[in-house]
Each structure stands twice: as structure tokens, then as C-alpha cells.
Amino acid sequence: MKKLFALVDCNNFYASCERVFKPKLEGKPIVVLSNNDGCIIARSAEAKALGIPMGQPEFMTRELVKQHHVKVFSSNYALYGDMSARVMQILATFSPGIEVYSIDEAFLDLSNLLSQDLQQHAMKLCQTVVKWTGIPVSVGIAPSKTLAKLANRMTKKSGEKQAVAILQDTKEIEDILARTKVGDVWGIGKRNAHKLAGFGIHTALDLAQASDAFVKKHLTVVGLRTAKELRGEPCIELEQTPDSKQNICTSRSFGNPTTNLEHIQEATAYYATLCAAKLRRQQSCAKVLTVYLQAYPFKNKPAYYNSKTIMLPVATNSTLELIKYANMALKPLYKKGYRYKKSGVIVSEICPQANAQLPLLDTIDRSKHQRLMQAVDSINSTWGRDTVTTAAQGVYDQEKRPNPWEMKSMYRSERYTTHLNELLCVQA
């Protein structure tokens, strides 16, 4: 059966999420900052036109931001994640097969629509997403996933908010490949592009026309699949069920450097909580837990970094157990006199929850732990993350007693769709 794929990409996703709830920002330049308001990680088209570079520290752009009235936002991952989930749910109604590739991209299988009007179907998809969520999307359609990536890239050059590009004609595909640098091909990258340039391969068309033996020798089997995809031969299937993660890391830089062990313990307990929740979502347990602690140079103290790994007696995904062992690992890492900036928790040797082996003389009521965790997950899923937390994470009132280790988010917008006390209020 002939294959046909679509890549749907949300346009300037983070900026678009902010505009959904602040329509007055339409047409205005927007930038979104990384954790702790450090660097620029997302820009609207208007901000890109001003020459604001990706990854630049926030303090280096303040003059430009002030001069052009650029709206600055702290990253609001609760909002972005929820808006992404809504978009993906809509996309799933337009295709029997969907692969969520990233927070703002998804591949669709359109092979069953070969006899239909693809342009009309894709435009209806764009219109539905923007109508139901407010997020503009672009669609690239082609016989392979790699060509669909290129087709979607073409839509960005059109300047339209909702654009559709379809690559099916052989001559048109060759023209596009001839105008595309080989380093811009999905999966090639700068390093391989530099290597290929030494053999006279500069464009995507050059790579597509290279012999299989040459490509396999210099780019391995993975590169050969890419070359075949550029020829219109689908070699990369949809991954509709993502593989479970083999290790999970949760870490954050503290909003302010601290010397207080209690604050570090609270932050580390929070990171262990997030790891446990991620394990439960993929129905897995972890056998190994690692905690690391990092301090920056201060006065006569050098930089400090250390970590400790603990083999858990039983593979678990219980928040209570992971916090217990995270605290055990953290204590020997802490040294007085350092100003600590970051800690993190890593869980590894992950196995399916159903395969976790219990010791013969286990003293923990694991069924009780499991019921408790299910109840906590259900409440937090319904009412928003951190509705129910552990005391080990600390109890803070942001107005009377702010969280001393929480990341800086001076410009964060409300979490309109996930927190009841931050719902958008409309006056009639």
C-alpha cells in the first residue's frame, strides 16, 4: 500500500499559547525564557524579525526588549503541556495513526486518504485546531516522514499562519531537494553535513542520488534510511506507542543559591516526587536512585559537585520510598560553607511494574502504597499538579512565606487551564 504522511507543527508554540489568553499580543513580539528566567528559548515571528537570537541570556536583550516593547514571559510548562495535549487530541481525530513527536509536532498517517482532496483535509485540520484551541498550525504532506519534514519547512517560508504544503510530484520533490542544504535534512546534522561536503554532497538531492553502498558506509544504516526517505521510499514508521524511558532525571536550579540543608532536602524531595509520578505514568518501577548536588564557586570555596547512588532493596515507584532514599543519598553529599545552586534525582534500572520482584520478608505494605499513589495521582490529575504533596517538600504560602528554592518565574503568566485559582475571569 502506498504511504502518505503529514507533519503537523504548531507555529511558534510557546508564544501562541500566551496569545490564546492575551489576544492583544497578536502581532506583537514575544519571547519566552528558560528555567530561572535565564535564556531565551522561544520567539514569536515578530521577535525573530527584530534579530533577537535563540539562546541569548535575558540580561543581554533588555535594551532591545525595552526599545521594541517586546513582551517577555517566563516558561509556563503547565500551560504549554496542557495546550499541547488538547492539540494532539484534535489531531487524533483526523488520522487513524498519530505519533506525538514533540510538544508542538506530530506525524499523522494519511495513507487511507490518497483518493481524497488532501489540501481540503489539511486545511480543515488547521481550521479546527485554531478554532478549538487558538493555536495556529502548519501541515507538510509527503510520501515519507523525512519529506513531510521538508514539506512542513516549506510552509514556514510562506509567511502564512495556517499553511499547507504537499509534496507528491517527483519533479517538485527534486526541485525542493536541490534547494535544501544537506545539513537541514532531518537526522543529518552539522557533523555529518561537514563529512558529506568532503565528498561533494552539499544538497539533499545529492544525498538522495548517492549510492546505497556509499551512504551506508559513511552514515550507517540510519543514514541509508534517510537517503531512501528522500527518494520517497518510506523507511521510518510511525511510533504510535513510545518506548518506556530507561532512566528518568528531574533537576532544577534553585531560584536563589542556598546553604540551608533543609531547603535542599525539600527541593530534592520534590524532584523525587516528579520521578515517581513519571514512573507510575509508564507503569514502571526503578531499582536504582542517584542524587547529585552542585555548588558554584563562592568566596574562597571552589565549585563543588558530588553524587551518590543507592541500590533500592525493591524496585519501586512509590513517592514515599523514593523520597526516603533520596534523603539518605543527599545527606552525605552536603558540606557546610558552600552556596548550593542545583540538585537532581535520577532513577534507573527501570523495569515494568508487573515484573518487579518482591523479597520474601518484605515489611512494607506495597498494596497500600499503590492505592495511596493511585489516589494522589487521581486528585492531582483532576485538580492540578501539586494539589496533594508530601510534607517533605515543605509547606509554603507564596504571599506570606515564599518558597526559597523554587525557580525564578518573574514573568510567568497564569496557568489558565490547570489551576482553578488561575482560571481566566470574564466580565459580562
Each residue of 397-421: b (16+ CB within 10 Å) or e?
Answer: eeeeeebbbbbbbebbbbbbbbbee
pLDDT tens-place string over residues 228-276 = 999 999 998 888 777 667 899 999 889 888 999 999 999 999 999 999 9
Q: Give pLDDT, residue 92.
A: 94
pLDDT the model gives residue 158: 66
CB 324 within 8 Å of CB 313: no
pLDDT mean across residues, the chain: 90
Q: What is the pLDDT of residues 306-332, one digit of tens each?
A: 999 999 999 999 999 999 999 999 999
Query: Averaged over 371-379, what is the pLDDT?
Result: 93
Instruction: Extract the C-alpha cell encoding 284.
Output: 514502571
* 143 contacts 111 by C-beta, under 8 angstroms: no
Residue closest to 75 by CA, chosen among 47, 102, 41, 45: 41
Q: Is 312 exposed, middle or buried, given 0-12, 13-18 or 19+ CB atoms closer than 10 A?
A: middle
For each of the domains in the chain, give its residue range(s) and CATH number, in order of start: 5-166 (3.30.70.270), 170-230 (1.10.150.20), 248-393 (3.30.1490.100)
Q: Which residues contact 394 (CB under 8 A, 6 or more apart)?
A: 263, 266, 403
Question: 74 and 412 in contact (C-beta within 8 Å)?
Answer: yes
pLDDT at 398 exceeding the cut of 70: no
What is the pLDDT, as a whole number, of residue 369?
Answer: 87
Q: How confident is the model at residue 399 (pLDDT cuts 50, 70, 90)?
A: low
